[in-house]
Structures are given as C-alpha cells and as structure tokens.
Amino acid sequence: MDFQSEKRLVRDYYAALDSAEGPMIEDVMTRFVADDYIWRGYHPFHEQTSGQDVARVFWQPFRQAFTRMQRRMDIFIAGKNEMDGFQSTWVISMGHLMGIFKKPWLGIPPTGKIGIMRYCEFNKLEDGKITETAMFFDIPMVMMQAGLQPFPPQTGTHMVQPGPMTHTGLCFDPQDPLEGEKTLAAINFMIGDIRDWKDREPEGLEIELPRSWNDDMIWWGPAGIGASYTIDGYIRGHSGPFRDGLGDMTFNGHLCRLAEGEFGGFFGWPNLTILPEGGFMGMPATGKYSDMRVIDMYRRDGDKLTENWIFIDLLHFWNQQGVDILARTTKDAQP
C-alpha cells in the first residue's frame, strides 16, 4: 500500500483545522472524525471521546491563546500498525505549532511574542474517518518560554528542536516498503535490547547502546530533560540518570508501532509503569508507582537508529507522584 488516500485525508484535515476559528473548529472535527472517536492527549486533557469535546477542551482555548497559528511539520509518515498484526492504518505527523502567544493558556502567562509547542500526533484511519488520535505536546516547553521553571535544572539541553538532519521527514509521496521494514526492525531490536538489560550480566550503557545506535546519535528529549548528542552525551544527559533514578519498571506495551521509509515511531497508554527511587529530574522518592505515557519517533541511518524525538507526559507522571507541576508553577504567574 502507498497510503496516499490516508495521507491526503489527514492533510485535508489539517488544512481545514488550522484555518478554522472559534466554533468552526467543532464543524471541522465533526466532518473528519468518527462518532466513536477516541482522543488521547497530554495532561491535563487526557482522554476525550468526541471531536466536539476535543475542539472545546483543547483546540479552541489553544487557538484563542496562540493566534495566527502555523503547523510546521518535520515528519509525516503512514503505515500499518504492528501492534494489531499490521491490520490498521495510521498516519503520523510531528513538528511544532507556532503562533503569537497573546492570551493566558492553562494559567501560563502570555508573552506577546512567538510561542512554539512541539507536538506529535498519531491518527488511525478507517472508512474515510479519523477514529483514534494520540496527540502529545510539550506544555513545559511553553512554560519555559514564558519564563517559568517547572523543573529543576535539566541534564540535557533545552531548545527549539529541529527536524531530521536530512530534511527528508515529510514523506508525502510513496516510500520504498523495504526501507520501512529495515526501520521497524531497527526499532524492534532496540526495544528488545532495552527490555532485556535487567536480565543480563552487568555490561554498561557504553556496551549496550552501540548495538542499536550510531555514535553520532541525537536524543531530542522533552522540556525538563532536554536534548543530548552522541552516545556518551546521551548516557550523561538521560539514559544514565534515568536508570539510576528509576527503580522497578514494567513495560506495558504499545498501542501503535509503525515505520515508513527511514522513519518510524510508537506510542503507549501508558508505555511504562515505574517506581522512582529519587533523584530523577531532581525529584525525591515517594514509594508510589507512576505511569509514563510516551511517543517516540526515530530516524534510521544504515542499520542503526540515529535520531530520536521523545514526547513524555511529564505533567501526568509527576502528578501521580503527588506533585501538580502545572498548578505549582503557574499559581503566582501574572498575565
């Protein structure tokens, strides 16, 4: 399959959604999404079960705050979902939503300047309608642009993250299916190697990671953790602190995993259930388990992965630990 009709439907949906204003956004959602629609979003939005609810709860308030919005896509791919035996078709879009941050949003004071929010969206297509969406977006990134500090200092670097170094992520045209198979195989090898690390003799990340990653890898992490470059930088900037600060961990699986061309990704709801042992992201141990909802997007170079864009619902994760990051950080903020 070349997925051209599915890609066209999602691009038409974006064109209509991004140009609509106010109540017209609900009309767009009604036109493009199914009656039994499921939308999975970042805290504090969580699950919504109709297009109208998504419009009222997320899109309309966001668009009122961020005027003249542009969708600046870096990756656009489609494929069959490995998690259901390659039966369903999904279209993935990743990039930034950009506008002029004119009004408060979620208690975050406006800057009156350009505001940018990373996003990644998985859309399931059935019978000419969008039936499921997972849309994760980096709210802490917006908070930091407004001068707020939701987390202690990061182990990685905070920035507006670029798209693929090759500038080949917008796969509007059909792709070589063999390249997609190679990418999915590389992603699956990496997942399996991570899941097996606790059952192996201690070997160290310096030995483990080069099996899956090129040495010049880039890990584009969420605001609060930040980005890291090279395997050594990734060990220092995220993977080392992650394993040191998080204890008992259960892998819950993914709802969707696919690849097209040299790009691929997955999401779970939740991916992981983790018991923090203290220190991760500067937070103390609480003795409570927390779910981690994650979207990962990848670029493969050769036989290994080389770029990785990560979306983690950190607000939800820490809220389960008893810390309402959003409320705590915005309570004294003045618009």
pLDDT tens for each residue of 197-228: 556 666 788 999 999 999 999 999 999 899 99
Q: Mind listing the pLDDT tens digit for each residue in 273-327?
A: 988 887 778 788 888 999 999 999 999 999 999 999 999 999 999 999 999 999 9
Final residue of a domain: which of 100, 130, 145? 145
Least confident of 42-46, 159-163, 168-172, 209-213: 159-163
CB 303 within 8 A of CB 188: no
pLDDT above 70 for 70 = yes
On the question of pLDDT at 243 being above 80, the answer is: no
Q: What is the mean pLDDT of residues 58-65?
A: 98
Residue 132 main-chain phi, psi, to 5 deg: -145, 145
Report which of 290, 271, 269 is spatially closest to residue 280, judged by C-alpha positions: 290
H-helix segments, 161-294 = 177-195, 205-208, 230-234, 240-245
**212 and 141 in a common domain:** no
* Maximum CA extent, the chain: 58
Final residue in a domain of this structure, among 128, 145, 162:
145
Question: Burial of 91 by CB count in 10 Å (0-12 exposed, 13-18 middle, 19+ buried)?
Answer: buried
Q: Is residue 151 part of a domain?
A: no
Report pTM. 0.94
Instruction: Please report, for the domain that includes residue 310, its CATH number.
Output: 3.10.450.50
Most confident of 43-52, 195-204, 247-256: 43-52
* Owning domain of residue 64: 4-145
- Average pLDDT of the residues in 115-136: 98
Q: Please tell me the predicted confidence (pLDDT) of residue 197.
A: 55
Give tens-digit pLDDT for 140-157: 999 999 999 998 877 888
Number of structural domains in the chain = 2
End-to-end CA distance of the chain: 50
- In whole angstroms, give the CA distance from residue 78 to residue 130: 13
Rounded distance, CA 302 to CA 322, Å?
A: 43
Q: Same structural domain for residues 205 and 86?
A: no
Q: What is the mean pLDDT of the chain?
A: 93
Report yes or no on 255 lying in a domain: yes
